[in-house]
Amino acid sequence: MSLAPLSASAAPWPEVSVPVARRLDHEIRQLGRVRVDSYAWMKYIPPSGSRTLESLPPPLREHLEAEMAYAQDVLRPLEADAVWFYEHMAQRAPEISEPLPASSKGWRYDFKLPAGRAHRIFSRVGPGGDTQLLFDEGARADGHAYYRATDHQPSLDDRYFAWAEDVIGDDRHRICVLDMTSGVVRTVVQADAFGYGGFTFSPSSRYLFWIWRDAHSRPTRLYRSPVEGGVAVLVYEEHDPAIFMQVARTAANGFVALTLAGPDTSEVHLIAAEAETAPLRLVRPRRRGVRYEINEWNDTLLMLTDADDATDRKLLDIDPASFAVRRVRVPHRANTPIVAILPFADMLVRLERADGLPRLVLMRPDGSETFVGFDEPAYVIELAPSQPYDARRLRIVHQAPAGPPRWLDIDFANGSCTVVGQERLSGFDPEAYQVERLHATAPDGETVPITMLSRKDVRADAPLPLLLTGYGAYGIACEPRFSLAATALVDAGFRYAIAHVRGGSEKGRRWYQDGCREKKRNSMTDFIACARHLQDSGYAAPGKIVAHGVSAGGLLVSGAMNIAPTLWAGVIAQVPFVDMLNTMSDADHPLVPLLRPDWGDPLSDPHAYDHMAALSPYENVRRAAYPPVLCTAGLKDDRVPYWEPAKLVANIRHHSTSGNPAVLRLNPDSGHQESDDQNSEFAQAALFWAFALHCVGGQTPHGV
């Protein structure tokens, strides 16, 4: 049964003084069009360094400090509920340990998050079973208001272990290397490195290839640095701001691959293992409308590409010397997109989607295939990182909305599947929950998938408060992962649902293309259709649907709020991209040139200007009864700067007729993401759920 008695109407909000932002009309003339931005003054970019409250112009600092004080006052009544949610998650939190496959030399790298700890501890186990402690992230985070580390990886010779860490909050990393023989940690790259797929050890383990970010935070240069210290050598520099960079070794460690890509183009440069200091070799020059990536399998290179109208991608064999196409290994199959490939010496693994759900395909050198899927309504499969090329089994991570992550080994010889690790939560019973795959009909007749999590001990026909989340951008699928936070919300009397709207890739490349540029409105109307379907079907109680979205998902829910403001009991917009027209008109923004294929270019294309002007959440706030709104922002965020949600909140207050609060919760120490520790994760989710509960008039068991 539901743990939380829910009243018939939303609880009252405290009567506290609301900050009133100055309206200074700023006229913008663009492509023969004129708009007025009354809150343009909130935008501030420092001449150098990261933003701090102290460095802001006084009027702006005073306004943001008033917003922080207001958020504290208006959210204070939620504290007891937030504590309940936090404790509910913390009591269930498992000791997390990720079992990784052994390296080719027999070392197995691991990390643990002990129960009650906020940060991970990294170690490795030798061939003889001896454990070597590598480092404790808690010690490295000590003394920093913000800490986030990523891309942890050992060198091929098992002597070094590297990671990128951000101690400022602005996504500009330093790269650290631990010599596992001496125990000495060196900072090989002091600052301005790119940490997400932005560095790799060379095949010889002598060098670190890493990507540098320019003053606009764009990854633009590839360097080669000696691991033992020395001068960094520039390997490649990219001058097109619309191109993104990533670097990695290929599966058999025969090459280092530099991938340069945008949403609708790419090119790959290779460095051979036997010539690590030689110039890059270009596989195919970039061509608008064609994307490809390169890997290797035995004596051939593999090209995964959408060339020749293969929208859901095909797999080609190409010659390693001439780069000429040898054969089509896997032809294009419409609506069965290839998500990723992972080559092994004796098997080529494909991760693809069929009917919107992931499946694995094991292909042998003779071309015969074995399919591996799971009989569940919704789940996620991920290929574990750092798998040795000569492995005889595949390591995957499987999870579902009611099933915590488990690590499975699939034997190449007989296809048997063995559980080698399981995240176990204290007092958590997966059988207490039900996962359903539902479908809504969009206004244009398209069928939109929904993943829903409920408790089994509530009647199927009992309408409950519901939190609906979604993303719908950049071709990124909103995966139905396990979320401890989501189960806590469901335990408090909610249903939790994911709307797999257009703009993502859940149904292939077409699903993405039908939710971007001039078709972006489809994402928002899909989201609304999902909410109405859940309400009309009796799953969601009328007037008790709370919307939640992160980043571009914040644009999704804020746009849906503008279209149908009275449909929502509340809206949670987490670091939301909501000042769409102004941001996409800023050529200096780090992501704008890269993302023009997704949104359009309002600086040169009148049609793009007009469709953005009709959709941008900030531009389209109108006189209406808006629901309670909670926006978060990081002061140091350069992906979605703080002024976007700040301007949205101010505009909602100016236009709304409901008297409901619009709250900006600003973190002065973070960027686009909160600090990477479990305490921060639980605290943020607890606040969101307490806000949602308050919006629907609910109460956690602490008040029973």
pLDDT in tens, 246-261: 999 999 999 999 999 9
pLDDT per residue as tens digits for the range 148-157: 999 999 999 9
3-state helix/strand/coil string of 241-280: CCCEEEEEECCCCCEEEEEEEECCEEEEEEEEHHHCCCCC
pLDDT in the model for residue 3: 43
Pairing of strands 393-400, 495-499: unpaired
Question: 98: how many CB neighbours lie within 10 A of its CB?
Answer: 17
Residue 232 to residue 224: CA distance in whole angstroms:
6
CA-based nearest residue to 617, from 648, 586, 641, 595: 648
Residue 381 to residue 383: CA distance in whole angstroms:
7
Mean pLDDT of 500-505: 97
Mean pLDDT of 641-664: 98
**Which residues is 327 bridged to in the sheet?**
317
Question: 457: how many CB neighbours lie within 10 A of its CB?
Answer: 10
CA-based nearest residue to 85, from 457, 485, 632: 485
Residue 158 to residue 329: CA distance in whole angstroms:
34
Question: 510: how many CB neighbours lie within 10 A of its CB?
Answer: 15
pLDDT per residue as tens digits for the range 103-146: 767 898 888 888 778 889 999 999 888 999 999 999 999 999 99
Tokens of 186: 């060196």
pLDDT in the model for residue 104: 67
DSSP string spanning 674-695? --SSHHHHHHHHHHHHHHHHHH
**Which residues is 499 bridged to in the sheet?**
450, 470
Residue 415 in 3-state DSSP? Answer: coil
CA-based nearest residue to 691, from 90, 7, 8, 13: 13
Residue 559 to residue 586: CA distance in whole angstroms:
21
For residue 8, pLDDT beyond 70: no
Residue 572 to residue 585: CA distance in whole angstroms:
26
pLDDT per residue as tens digits for the range 459-489: 888 999 999 999 999 999 999 999 999 999 9
Tokens of 618: 């900030």
The enclosing H or E element of 314 equals: strand 314-318
For residue 7, pLDDT beyond 60: no
pLDDT per residue as tens digits for the range 379-437: 999 999 889 999 999 999 999 999 999 999 999 998 889 999 888 898 999 999 999 99
For residue 11, pLDDT beyond 80: no
Are 99 and 421 contacting, i.e. CB atoms less than 8 angstroms apart? yes
Q: How confident is the model at residue 60 (pLDDT cuts 50, 70, 90)?
A: very high
pLDDT in the model for residue 9: 52
Q: What is the largest CA-CA distance in the chain?
A: 73
For residue 38, pLDDT beyond 90: yes
Sign of the alpha-carbon torsion through 551, 222, 388, 161: negative
Burial per residue of 130-153, b for 16 or more beta-carbon CB atoms within 10 angstroms, e otherwise: eeeebbebeebbeeeebbbbebbb
pLDDT in the model for residue 695: 97
* E strand spans, 119-262: 121-125, 131-136, 148-154, 160-166, 173-179, 185-193, 199-201, 207-213, 219-226, 233-237, 244-249, 255-262
Are 698 and 465 contacting, i.e. CB atoms less than 8 angstroms apart? yes
Torsion angle of C-alpha atoms 665, 671, 677, 682, degrees rounded to 10: 20
Q: Which residues contact 558 (CB under 8 A, 6 or more apart)?
A: 549, 571, 573, 576, 578, 617, 648
pLDDT in the model for residue 94: 78
For residue 704, pLDDT beyond 80: no
Phi and psi at residue 556, to the nearest 5°: -55, -55
Number of residues written out for the chain? 704
Mean pLDDT of 301-330: 97
pLDDT in the model for residue 216: 87
Q: How confident is the model at residue 171 (pLDDT cuts 50, 70, 90)?
A: confident
- The amino acid present at 470, given as its one-letter code, is G
Phi and psi at residue 698, to the nearest 5°: -90, 175
pLDDT in the model for residue 215: 87
pLDDT in the model for residue 671: 87
Q: How confident is the model at residue 2 (pLDDT cuts 50, 70, 90)?
A: very low
pLDDT in the model for residue 99: 73
User: What whole-number percentage of the chain has pLDDT above 90?
Assistant: 85
pLDDT per residue as tens digits for the range 517-554: 999 999 999 999 999 999 999 999 999 999 999 999 99
Domains of the chain (ranges; CATH) run 55-90+428-579+617-703 (3.40.50.1820), 94-249 (2.130.10.120)
* E strand spans, 609-653: 629-634
DSSP string spanning 64-101? HHHHHHHHHHHHGGGHHHHHHHHHHHHHH---EEEEEE
- The amino acid present at 189, given as its one-letter code, is V
pLDDT in the model for residue 701: 64
196-200, 247-251, 670-674: segment of lowest average pLDDT: 670-674
pLDDT in the model for residue 702: 56
pLDDT in the model for residue 584: 97
Average pLDDT, whole number, for the chain?
94
For residue 32, pLDDT beyond 80: yes
Residue 362 to residue 347: CA distance in whole angstroms:
6
For residue 194, pLDDT beyond 60: yes
CA distances from 70 to 58, 149, 239, 663, 675 (A): 18, 32, 44, 8, 23
For residue 703, pLDDT beyond 80: no
